[in-house]
């Protein structure tokens, strides 16, 4: 039911690289609106990880990176650490709906 589509779960071993995809449409990601990524731990406020496709706020490790192509975007996490285990969701803006839209979230498990 989410406007942006993410895989429900991904996993990786410590030190590995994982990617999380976010697929939208021509009225949101494909229309040129930026994609933003958040890390969300249960019971806490979501934390901005990546904004405008590939920019990191200060304090976010460079192990986190974002990319965008066409109607999709990806979040990559390298050098996986146990503390990275969390939910991750993408967000953009939709011009047809005239509202902010989100992905359904992806649970990252560090094996």
Partner 1 sequence: QVQLQQSGPGLVKPSQTLSLTCAISGDSVSSISATWHWIRQSPSRGLEWLGRTYYRSKWSIDYAVSVKRRIAINPDTSKNQFSLQLNSVTPEDTAVYYCARVNRGERHFEYWGQGTLVTVSS
Q: Cα–chain-centroid distance for residue 107?
A: 11
Q: Which member of 33, 73, 80, 88 binds partner 1 (CB under 8 A)?
A: 33
Percent helix / strand / coil, the chain, rounded to 5: 5, 50, 45
Report the residue number, 33 or 110, with the smaller CB distance to partner 1.
33
52 lies in the binding site for partner 1 (CB under 8 A): yes
CA 38 to chain centre: 6
Choosing from 7, 12, 30, 104, the residue that interacts with partner 1 (CB under 8 A) is: 104
In terms of CB distance, is 12 or 46 closer to partner 1?
46
Q: Which of 9, 99, 109, 111 binds partner 1 (CB under 8 A)?
A: 99
Smaller CB distance to partner 1: residue 28 or 80? 28
- In our burial notation (b when 16+ CB lie closer than 10 A, e otherwise), range 59-70 reads ebeeebbbebee
Nearest in space to 22 (alpha carbons), one of 45, 39, 5, 43: 5
Interface contacts to partner 1, rule CB under 8 A = 1-2, 33-34, 36, 38, 43-48, 51-52, 57, 89, 91-93, 97-105
């Amino acid at each position: 039911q989410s406007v942006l589509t993410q895989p429900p779960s991904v996993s990786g071993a410590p030190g590995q690289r994982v990617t999380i995809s976010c697929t939208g449409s021509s009225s949101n990601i494909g229309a040129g609106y930026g994609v933003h990524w958040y890390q969300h731990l249960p019971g806490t406020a979501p934390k901005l990880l990546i904004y405008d496709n590939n920019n990191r706020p200060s304090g976010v490790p460079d192990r986190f990176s974002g990319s965008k192509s066409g109607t999709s975007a990806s979040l990559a996490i390298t050098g996986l650490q146990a503390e990275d285990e969390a939910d991750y969701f993408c967000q953009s803006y939709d011009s047809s709906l005239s509202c902010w839209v989100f992905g359904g979230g992806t649970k990252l498990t560090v094996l």
